[in-house]
Amino acid sequence: WGKIETQPSRKYSAGIINLRPDRDGEVIGVEGVDYIREKYGECIIDWNLPGPGTATQTPDAGYMANAWMRLRHPDYDTLRDIMNDVGESVQVRAR
């Protein structure tokens, strides 16, 4: 294929992950956030994590309707691994 001779225009790769509640209803808590913050705190741009008592939203409300986290990292493949870890570790619990 050849070589890429231009430099990337940005320093970081970035992504957003939607964290759907485990059921429809009312949020009772979010698990795994402390682990993610300790492990990847410097990669977190921002997040929205609903507090207890917040009504869950249906998927048609959009990917930012419930909980989400935006992350960045200089290496794209590392960012994907981090986002996979977030998706597996952070659980939004509802009743």
CATH assignment, 13-94: 3.90.1170.60
With a CB cutoff of 8 Å and minimum separation 6, the contacts of 88 are none
The length of the chain in residues reads: 95
For residue 7, how many other CB atoms are within 10 A of its CB? 6
Indicate the residue type of 81: D
Q: Indicate if the alpha-carbon torsion angle 65, 68, 72, 76 is positive or negative.
A: negative
Three-class secondary structure of residue 73 per DSSP: strand
pLDDT at 90: 98
Mean pLDDT in each 10-residue stretch from start to end of the chain (95 residues)? 76 95 96 98 97 92 89 97 98 97
Q: Strand pairing partners for 26?
A: 55
Give the start-to-end residue ranges of the domains of the chain. 13-94
pTM given for the model: 0.84
